[in-house]
Amino acid sequence: MNSSFEEKNLIKVRQICFIYLAFTPVIKLLTMPSYIAEVSFEGLLLSFLIGCAVDALLLIIILNLSSGQRNATLYNDFNKNYGSIPTKIIFLILTVYYIARSVYPIFEHKLYVETTLYEMMPERITFYVFFIFSTFLSLKGLKILGRSADIAVWLTLVGLALALSLSVGSADYSNLLPLIPRDLAPVLKGAFRSGVWGFDSLYMPLMLGHFRAEKAYKTKITLSFIGGNLLVALVIATFYGIYGAVASGQNFALADMSVFSVIVTNIGRFDFVSVFLLLFAQIFAIAMPLQFATKSLERVLQTKNSTIPAVIVNGLLLLATAFFGRQTYNTLSLSVSVGVYAFIAVSAIMLGAMLFIKRNNRNEVFEK
């Protein structure tokens, strides 16, 4: 079943909330905590929260800019106000953005799966089964993503609760003190680094017009965005509480944080239940930008069939993984030095374009 993004009311507000609660935060659980800790040390929590606050602000602005045209999709809005060619250019930028922002998380998850979950290094092809799944998800519409979130949200919450409950006993939260360090420069540097995993707010524009705006929907979506990130903040705090000064080297601590628990000592690696539950949500989280890239490309190519855009997008990522998949940390450096700036630029373009439409619409109302 191929479904076009032009279909209306495909997704419920609740499902968008679940996406922000279950899918988008879980990709921040792997290398992000150690990567921020490398520069921020005990200020890593603050760094993460600053990054989230900026993203949340961006989300609030996007939601407010869209409130005038609740029933119009982004494509229709842009097409009406800017014409066909500029709209296609904007959607091409969005396609590139979604592809670019999925590169590092995919490489990161590949390394995580190969080094942490397997006793011995598995065959390189093991991770590539993910692309069958991501292509399949890309062929589906927002409706299916939303319904998947309806189920996955419970698995994520159970996974996080289990991971936290097994590791919280080993954490010394005083490692996080002082919460606000005197020198804020490393904190801000850490916040900037978190941008590699951030900009989740930019999923929102493509969802506009595809849900029925209900009472307080903006508050609900924003709160779930904040809630999801607060859960990650809890994991980050526990992570730093366990590892303290050596946190920067612990790249995939999620799979190891609970090994010090008495339960694990007594009955075996029970903590892997949480690892597997979270991995289930993570594969959706890293496939999500590919689905959004497919749908953006669909608009650029003016096709109602998702097959070709899905094959292009997923094929590109498959090739990128095959050729550069082992350059995980080089990709991370590149994402910080170039990627985050590019993501900021895309956000600025989107906000600018949406602001212009908002003003246009307001003028139209006054003229009437």
Partner 1 sequence: MKLSRSLSVNKKRLDQSLSTSDVVFFDLKISDKRALVLYVDALTDQTQIGDLILRPLKTVQGQSDVESLQKLLPQPGSTIVCDDQDVISKTLEGNAVLLIDGESRAISFDVKKFDFRAITEPPTSAVVRGPREGFTESIKANLSLLRRRVKTQNFSVEKFKVGRITQTDVAIVYLSNIADNGVIDRLRKKIKSIDVDGIVDSSYIAKFIDEKKSSLFKQTGTTEKPDVLTAKILEGRVGVLVDGSPIALTVPYLTFEDFQSSEDYYQNTYRSNMARIVRVISLTLAVFLPSIFVSAQLFHLQIIPLNFLLTIVNSIKGIPLSPSLEMFFTLLIFEILNEASIRMPKYVGMALSIVGALVLGDTAVRAGIVSTPTIMIMALSGICLYTAPELVDSMSFLRLLFLLIAGSVGAFGLIVACGFLLVYLTSLENFDTPVLAPFAPLVAKDLKDGAFMTFLPDMTMRPISLKPKDKKRMKVENE
Total residues at interface with partner 1 (CB under 8 A): 39
Check residue 314 for interaction with partner 1 (CB under 8 A).
no
Query: C-alpha angle with apex 104: 255 to 319, nearest 5 degrees?
Result: 115
Q: How far is the CB of 63 from partner 1 (least distance, A)?
A: 22
* Residue found under tokens 């979506």: 221
Residue listed under structure tokens 């519409």: 141
Query: How far is residue 95's CA from residue 124's CA, in Å, rounded to a whole number?
Result: 27
Toward partner 1, which CB reaches closer, 151 or 161? 151
Q: Which residues of 140-164 are buried (b: 16+ CB within 10 A; e: fewer)?
A: bbbbbbbebbeebbebbbebbebbb
Closest separation in Å from C-beta 264 to partner 1: 10
Q: How far is the CB of 206 from partner 1 (least distance, A)?
A: 18
CA-to-CA distance for 173 and 183, rounded, in angstroms? 20
In the complex with partner 1, which residue's Cβ is closer, 37 or 285? 285
CA–CA–CA angle 291, 227, 343 (5° rounding): 45
Lay out the site mask for partner 1 across 284-313 (x = CB under 8 A, - = otherwise).
Answer: x--x--------------------------
Kindly write out the interface string for residues 4-33 of this chain, putting x where it contacts partner 1 by CB under 8 A and - elsewhere.
Answer: --------x-xx------------------
The yes or no reply on residue 113 touching partner 1 (CB under 8 A) is: yes
Q: Are 317 and 106 in contact (CB under 8 A)?
A: yes
Residues contacting 289, CB < 8 A, separation 6+: 98, 99, 101, 102, 105, 203
Tell which one of 57, 118, 124, 333 touches partner 1 (CB under 8 A).
Answer: 118
> Does 117 contact partner 1 by CB under 8 A?
yes
User: Taking contact as CB under 8 A, which single stretch among the options 142-150, 216-224, 233-241, 356-364 is the one that binds partner 1?
Assistant: 142-150
Among 8, 212, 269, 304, binds partner 1 (CB under 8 A): 269
283 binds partner 1 (CB under 8 A): yes
- Confirm or reject binding of residue 260 to partner 1 (CB under 8 A): no
| Contact with partner 1 (CB under 8 A) among 280, 324, 329, 356 | 280
Alpha helix ranges (H) inside the chain: 13-18, 32-40, 44-66, 74-82, 84-112, 129-139, 142-167, 185-193, 204-207, 217-243, 262-267, 272-300, 307-324, 328-334, 340-367
Tell whether residue 148 is a contact of partner 1 (CB under 8 A).
yes
Residues that bind partner 1 (CB under 8 A): 1, 12, 14-15, 113, 117-120, 122-123, 125-127, 129-130, 132-133, 136-137, 140, 143-144, 146-148, 150-152, 267-269, 272, 276, 279-280, 283-284, 287
